[in-house]
Structure 1
Amino acid sequence: MRAPVINLLLIASVSGASLAQAQSPAPQTAAVSPDAIKQREQELEAARASKKSAEEAQAKLKSEISSLGQDRTQLNQQLIDTAANVRAVETKIDEAETRLKTLNGREQQMRSSLDSRRADIVEVLAALQRAGRRTPPALLVRPEDALQSLRTAMLLGAVVPELRGRAEKIAGELGELVALRKTIAAERDQLASDRDKVRTDQTRLTALVDERQRQQASREKDLDAENARAITLSRQVGDLQGLIAKMEQDLQSAAKAAEKAAEAARQAEAKAAANAKPGPGTFKDRSRTTPAIAFASAKGLLPLPVNGNKIRDFGGSDGVGGVQKGISLATKPGSQVTTPCDGWVVYSGPFRSYGQLLILNAGGGYHVLIAGMERISVNIGQFVLTGEPVATMGSTSQVASILATNASQPVLYVEFRKDGTPIDPGPWWAANEGEKVRG
């Protein structure tokens, strides 16, 4: 009767505890034990402590933001730094999820390999038992204990010589599986930590954005009326060029923004000849109220507005027989969208099949269009800095299906225009941004 028992033990050791769980009797209703009551009290206390900690964190954050007052430079610095932190952690989470997927696949392969070697493991364990070694009970569910058992037996010479090679091979596979499981556990812990961090940063970012918009609203008395009029005007035009012209001609705040953009472009072009070639440090001044450099001089310096994978490029097929006029980036739900350049908002709201649309006048006849977000957090006439948070993605595609390969996935559409004509944005992206985007 011993051999069948060893077989059952072996199958359980390789495949896990699922069989034991399946065969366990159904739980029966019983009185709540004092230990269970104590555990629930501890859980309740932990929940109260967590709530108190969250409230204290919120109060501290509110105090910090209030201390910024009307200091626009500090507020801009906080906004851009926090948005950069959010996007950096979003990238780490994405990379960790990819690694975990690969590691989990490898673990499954190793488990399948061990499962296929049951006969060898049975023989080795049978030899151990014949030598008087007792199999530890934990062997039923833990590969770590199976590995320890084999190693101990080999050190003590309990494995007969003809089985030593097979035992060493099995021990090697089990050792690799144990190490892999530790790596997976560490990756999961780091992923959980990163998710907690991004939630904290997103809370902070939301509060900062609210404060920015509160200050903007106090400066723009007719903000709501302007936004409502912009939506009305947008329904009177059928294309993007018509929308831009309509906004900058008929809407007071957009017209002022266009005028400032034109003046800033003239000044930037006058300085460009005297200044050295601009670099990444060009955008460090958070107190600026006009673009740091002329848009035409920003080639190779601009960051992508969102973390994502490029699914369509400028000049490629748009999927319906036409040519793509911008780029499309597939993103994660809720991803943070930041401005790729300095500029004035000349439109912010829904438009046709683009979902939520944001149009920036970057000066010098250049406009940047960003579409497909679920929520935009800036207003018409507002000046925004490179890297400043302006929107968030939704959970599904907000643009027409021709802009996305998968309508269930959020997609951000970005288009650059010069004097009304779409142009290739490729030369403007920073080199490291091109490496991040995978087609």
Structure 2
Amino acid sequence: MMILRALFCVGLGLSQPAMAQTSPDPATAALAASERLGRASEALGKAEGAQNRVKALTETITAFEDGLEAMRDGLRRAAVREQALAAELRARDEEIAQLLGVLQTMGNAPVPVLLMHPAGPVGTARAGMILSEVAPALDARALSLRDKVQELSMLRALQQSAANKLQEGLEGVQEARSALSAAMAERTNLPRRFTEDPVKTALLIASTETLSGFASGLSEIAVDEAPGSLPDISARKGALPLPVEGTILRRAGEADAAGIKRPGIVVATRPRALVRTPAAATVRYRGPLLDYGNVIILEPQSGILLVFAGLDVVYGQTGQVLPGNSPVGLMGGAGAEGDLLLAADSQDMGSERTQTLYIEVRQDNSPVDPLAWFKTDKDD
């Protein structure tokens, strides 16, 4: 009788609904990311023999960055799901132990004791009815627990496999970045609208204290500038892609930690992220400037300047005309080792975007809100 009561109580306790799995399937996400990284690796091999190596390597780095983002997201989901499963199993330890104790007691009890009831045949019949109701619930719950334990084991194996693939992808993107730097140094077939006068550039830098003052004197450093301008991009206003993948950290006019307000936006991005020009543009200046770090100033059309500040590596030469989506530099950061370190903390998404790119748009030498020109998620 005591065995039946215990069994009935355990059956009721374990028949409660299991925790719903509302998050997307991490295994599917990791598999898709693995395939994307595989395609990026193949593209890297083909890029070496491509006629336009810069374009091919730019596309390869973009593919690697997208694949790594997806892989980190898959790892993040797997870690969250693993924690949820482990917490659920820990919370039900007492019930599971109670179930195992009852089943062990039943296994050790003589068969006649299990079949007989002190109240006689009627009690025995009632006990049988209780068993017939509780047994399916016990069976279903045992299967559910088994599935959860198996899923937990699968998630741990998935994370190890994904971590290995992530490391391969990080090595691949580093190789692609190195190849891109070499290809940029070898590229000599771009048109030039003017040549830079280094003496006038140095004097301009020394005599200006603001970005506005520097921008207003850019025409002074150009020698033998070709007349005309690149095609008007006014029709693309509000639709230009951001030059780097990231999230808006500060909008125009928002104060930073030091209380300084600037007319541009700040984009938080990953270490070593590739920065590209959103449209065909002339390089008006590249190099260190004031307190902005490494800067590149692009002119997509006469009267409009795009200022990107905070890069670690800057590509291109002053006076060159760059096609749209051309690489103009790389963000700073720890590189491959830093990427791996950040990837290990797969749940802290914000900590991965440790670099910041400052973007300013100037029209007729007056700053305008960059978000009026670039296509972004306005809720970022």
Whole-angstrom CA distance in 1 between matches of 2:215 and 2:169: 39
2:30 maps to which residue?
Answer: none
Query: What is the rounded CA distance, in whole Å, between the counterparts of 2:199 and 2:379 in structure 1?
Result: 39
Q: For 1:421 and 1:384, locate their aligned partners in 2 and report how far apart those are by CA, in whole Å.
A: 24
Aligned pairs for 1:199-238 within 5 A: 199-216=171-188, 230-231=201-202, 233-238=204-209
SS across alignment from 2:97: helix
Shift of the 393–181 alpha-carbon distance from structure 1 to 2, 3 Å rule, reads farther
TM (normalized to structure 1)? 0.58
Structure 1 residue 346: Cα displacement: 1.2
Partner of 1:193: 165
From 368, 374, 379, the equivalent of 1:429 is 374
Using the alignment, how far apart are the partners of 1:426 and 1:193 within structure 2? 36
Separation (CA, whole Å) in 1 of partners of 2:63 and 2:282: 26
Greater length-normalized contact order (CA 8 Å, ≥ 6 residues apart): 2
CA distance in structure 1 between the aligned counterparts of 2:133 and 2:313, rounded to whole angstroms = 70
Q: 1:59 to 1:410 in 2, by over 3 A?
A: closer
Give the aligned residue type for 1:371: A
Deviation at residue 420 of structure 1 after TM alignment: 0.6
The structure-2 alpha-carbon separation of the partners of 1:330 and 1:315, relative to structure 1 and needing over 3 Å to count, comes to same
SS of the residue 2:241 aligns to: coil
Distance 1:235 1:188, change over 3 A: farther
Alignment of 1:287-366 (within 5 A): 291=230, 293-318=231-256, 323-366=261-304
For 1:105, the aligned partner's letter is: V
Mapped to 1, the partners of 2:331 and 2:366 lie a distance apart of 26
User: How far apart are the structure 2 equivalents of 1:60 and 1:312?
Assistant: 39
Q: Does 1:121 align with 2:96?
A: yes
Matched, 1:249 2:224: no
TM-score scaled by length of structure 2: 0.66
The CA deviation at 1:336 is 0.9
Q: Which amino acid aligns with 2:213?
A: G
Decide whether the 8 Å contact of 2:198 with 2:221 is kept in 1: no
Amino acid of the structure 2 residue aligned with 1:347: Y
Q: How many residues align?
A: 300
- Which of residues 78, 94, 104 is equivalent to 2:79? 104
- Residues 251, 265 of structure 2: 8 Å contact kept: yes
**Contact 1:310–1:438 (CA under 8 A) maintained in structure 2:** no
SS of structure 1 residue aligned to 2:291: helix
* Larger helix fraction of residues: 1
- The AA in structure 2 aligned to 1:214 is E
Percent identical? 23
- Alpha-carbon deviation of 1:111? 1.4
Secondary structure of the structure 2 residue equivalent to 1:235: helix
Structure 1 portions without partners, runs of 5+: 1-53, 69-74, 134-158, 265-290, 397-404
Distance 1:128 1:231 in 2: 86
Contact 2:190 2:321 in 1 (8 A): no
Secondary structure in 1 aligned to 2:305? strand
Give the distance between the partners of 2:234 and 2:96, measured in 1 at CA: 69
Alignment partners' CA distance in 1, 2:69 and 2:45: 31
Gaps of 5+ in 2: 1-40, 109-130, 335-349
SS state at 1:125 partner: helix
| Equivalent residue number for residue 26 of structure 2 | none
Alpha carbons of 1:59 and 1:230: their partners in 2 closer, same or farther (altered >3 Å)?
farther
